[in-house]
């Protein structure tokens, strides 16, 4: 017990105030919002600053989606187990686990970027893309898997319908109830307020959500939905965007799959009027930190005004590429950029740590690898930091001893040079830096007269000759700049 008490005293210095010997209890409380929505808020603020639509999504929808769907499966898990229990075939793409929240975000945000980019590229359809289309696309996509939402299937069965039935006049009432309920639950009521609220666009939501799927449950009989309000061109655009989001979230597990999948390619061709396609870069092997450098380098050389990064995966990045884009950079370009970025990263680290530099009796020294990361002007400038690290302000100055030695040895004529100078560590620092700079420059520019250059820079060119007469026998040790 005594040893434990001693250890505690060592860990907490005497100045650490423990009050009356008991740590003050902190009040533990829940955060104001889930971590997911808090992080999403930061992302939206950076990617869509001052955007009311995206701000409203984070403010009203992100939290409820996290609360109600963050633990609920969209595919994999219980969904797969249930289908297998019924003896049904399960396609490979449905097996990996994915929560409903992940499915919504993984589809929604890439397509929002896609739409923004295609509009900037003047794709014809996107002349109709405005905040109304965005809100309806977002809200409808959030609800597009409404048949998988908790207890919805039971509601349909109680009303006498199956989830496999297409929406018809008889099924419309229960479908409207489901949409109203989940709009309220997921905060979409507030999100749709600028459009007049849920009731004003209810049939538009049902139409877009139902037609996100193409295999079954679609609804193209417009007579079933008599209260459609959105212009047909805008409604079709919102439907296509929702379908693309679903494809990206469900089908696309790797960059290659995004760029080569026939359904995704067809949808993008329609959205872009044949002006854009998906392309990608891919790493065959993951090498940890090195992979990060390669990814960042590839991203740098691939991205330009006609090729925009859209989806990020551990193995690579998917880009939206305009048909006017130049040929993609080659492996050599990526390799050169990777080396450049590694050099930049190490240089930043060396600027902070100055590892590999030291001072001994013959002055400041540095490791040869510094030349791999710094050119001569930058390295000479970095020498200032090296000096301050090794000859700090608290060090006892040596300049006074040097002045005395010069007088005693008669190296300088007092009539020419006044040696009645202050004994100041700053003089030591300047001397050390001048000697270091001379060594650095001599390695790269051996013919350059660094001594004359520095004396002129300090307005001391008048003593150039007397200064040069001071013995510079490096074998004796000490810094040559007295």
* pLDDT tens for each residue of 197-249: 999 999 999 999 999 987 666 787 888 899 999 999 999 999 999 999 999 99
| Residue 11 reports pLDDT greater than 50 | no
Pairing of strands 307-313, 276-282: unpaired
Q: How confident is the model at residue 332 (pLDDT cuts 50, 70, 90)?
A: very high
Give CB contacts under 8 A, 24+ apart, made by 399-408: 399/423, 399/424, 399/425, 399/427, 399/428, 399/431, 402/431, 402/482, 405/482, 406/470, 406/482
Beta bridge partners of 319: 279, 309
* Residue 8 pLDDT level (bands cut at 50, 70, 90): very low
Q: State whether the Cα torsion 461-467-472-478 is positive or negative.
A: negative
DSSP SS3 for 176: helix
CA atoms of 430 and 227, how far apart (whole Å): 82
CA distance 318 to 279: 6
Percentage above 90 pLDDT, the chain? 58
How much is the pLDDT for 69? 87
What is the number of alpha carbons within 13 Å of residue 387 lying toward its C-beta? Answer: 19
The least confident of 115-124, 161-170, 357-366 is: 161-170
Q: What is the pLDDT of residue 24?
A: 56
Contact between 118 and 272 (Cβ < 8 Å): yes
Is the pLDDT at 462 greater than 90? The verdict is no
CA dist., res. 24 & res. 482, Å (int): 59
Between residues 104 and 24, the one the model is more confident about: 104
Strand-pairing partners, residue 364, are 359
Count CB-CB contacts under 10 A for residue 326: 9
Given a cut of 50, is residue 2 above it in pLDDT?
no
What is the token pair recorded at 389?
């690290």
Query: pTM of the entire structure?
Result: 0.76
**pLDDT band for position 267 (50/70/90)?**
very high
3-class secondary-structure state, position 423? coil
Residue 73: predicted pLDDT: 64
Structural contact between residues 481 and 470, judged by C-beta atoms closer than 8 angstroms: no
Element (H, E) at 368: none
3-state secondary structure 219-265: CCCHHHCCCCCCCHHHHHHHHHHHHHHHHHHHCCCCHHHHHHCHHHH
CB atoms within 10 A of CB 176: 19
- At 92, is the pLDDT very low, low, confident or very high (cuts 50, 70, 90)? low
More confident residue, 52 or 34: 52
Q: Among residues of the chain, what percentage have pLDDT more than 70?
A: 86
Which contacts qualify for 323-326: CB closer than 8 Å, 24 or more apart? 323/274, 323/275, 323/276, 323/277
Q: Which residues pair with residue 311 across a beta bridge? A: 318
Q: Which of these ranges, 6-20, 101-115, 218-232, 422-436, has the smallest mean pLDDT?
A: 6-20
3-state DSSP of 30-45:
CCCCCHHHHHHHHHHH
User: In the predicted model, what is the mean pLDDT of the chain?
Assistant: 86
Q: Are 431 and 458 in contact (CB under 8 A)?
A: no
Cα 199 to Cα 65, 192, 227, 443: the distances in Å are: 21, 9, 9, 78
Identify the band that residue 168 occupies on the pLDDT scale cut at 50, 70 and 90.
confident
| 3 state SS of 92 | helix
Contact by Cβ (8 Å): 367, 379: no
């Amino acid at each position: 017990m005594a040893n434990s008490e001693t250890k505690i005293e060592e860990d907490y210095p005497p100045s650490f105030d423990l009050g009356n010997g008991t740590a003050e209890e902190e009040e533990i409380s829940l955060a104001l919002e889930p971590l997911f929505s808090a992080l999403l808020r930061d992302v939206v603020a950076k990617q869509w600053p001052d955007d009311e639509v995206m701000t409203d999504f984070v403010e009203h929808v992100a939290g409820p989606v996290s609360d109600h769907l963050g633990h609920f499966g969209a595919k994999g898990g219980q969904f797969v187990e249930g289908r297998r229990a019924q003896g049904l075939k399960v396609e490979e793409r449905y097996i990996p686990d994915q929560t409903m929240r992940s499915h919504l975000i993984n589809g929604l945000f890439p397509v929002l970027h896609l739409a923004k980019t295609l509009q900037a590229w003047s794709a014809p359809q996107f002349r109709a893309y405005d905040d109304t289309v965005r809100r309806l696309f977002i809200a409808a996509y959030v609800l597009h898997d409404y048949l998988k939402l908790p207890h919805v299937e039971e509601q349909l069965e109680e009303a006498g319908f199956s989830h496999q039935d297409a929406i018809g006049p008889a099924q419309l009432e229960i479908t409207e109830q489901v949409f109203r309920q989940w709009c309220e639950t997921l905060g979409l009521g507030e999100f749709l307020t600028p459009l007049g609220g849920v009731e004003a666009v209810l049939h538009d939501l049902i139409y877009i959500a139902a037609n996100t799927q193409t295999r079954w449950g679609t609804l193209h009989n417009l007579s079933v939905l008599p209260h459609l309000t959105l212009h047909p061109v805008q409604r079709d655009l919102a439907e296509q965007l929702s379908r693309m989001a679903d494809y990206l979230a469900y089908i696309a597990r790797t960059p290659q799959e995004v760029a080569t999948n026939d359904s995704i390619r067809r949808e993008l061709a329609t959205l872009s009027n044949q002006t854009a396609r998906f392309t990608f870069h891919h790493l065959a092997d993951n090498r940890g930190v090195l992979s990060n450098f390669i990814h960042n380098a590839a991203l740098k050389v691939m991205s330009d005004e006609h090729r925009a990064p859209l989806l990020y995966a551990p193995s690579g990045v998917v880009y939206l590429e305009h048909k006017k884009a130049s040929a993609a950079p080659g492996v050599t370009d990526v390799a050169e950029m990777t080396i450049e970025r590694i050099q930049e990263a190490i240089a930043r680290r060396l600027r902070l740590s100055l590892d590999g530099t030291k001072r001994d009796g013959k002055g400041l020294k540095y490791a040869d690898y510094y030349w791999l990361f710094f050119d001569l002007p930058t390295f000479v400038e970095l020498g200032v930091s090296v000096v301050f690290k090794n000859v700090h302000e608290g060090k006892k100055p040596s300049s006074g001893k040097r002045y005395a030695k010069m007088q005693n040895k008669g190296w300088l004529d007092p009539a020419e040079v006044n040696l009645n100078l202050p004994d100041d560590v700053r003089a030591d620092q300047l001397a050390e830096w001048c000697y270091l700079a001379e060594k650095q420059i001599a390695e790269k520019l051996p013919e350059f007269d660094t001594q004359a250059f520095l004396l002129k820079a300090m307005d001391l060119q008048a003593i150039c000759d007397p200064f040069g007469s001071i013995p510079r026998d490096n074998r004796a040790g000490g810094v040559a700049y007295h």
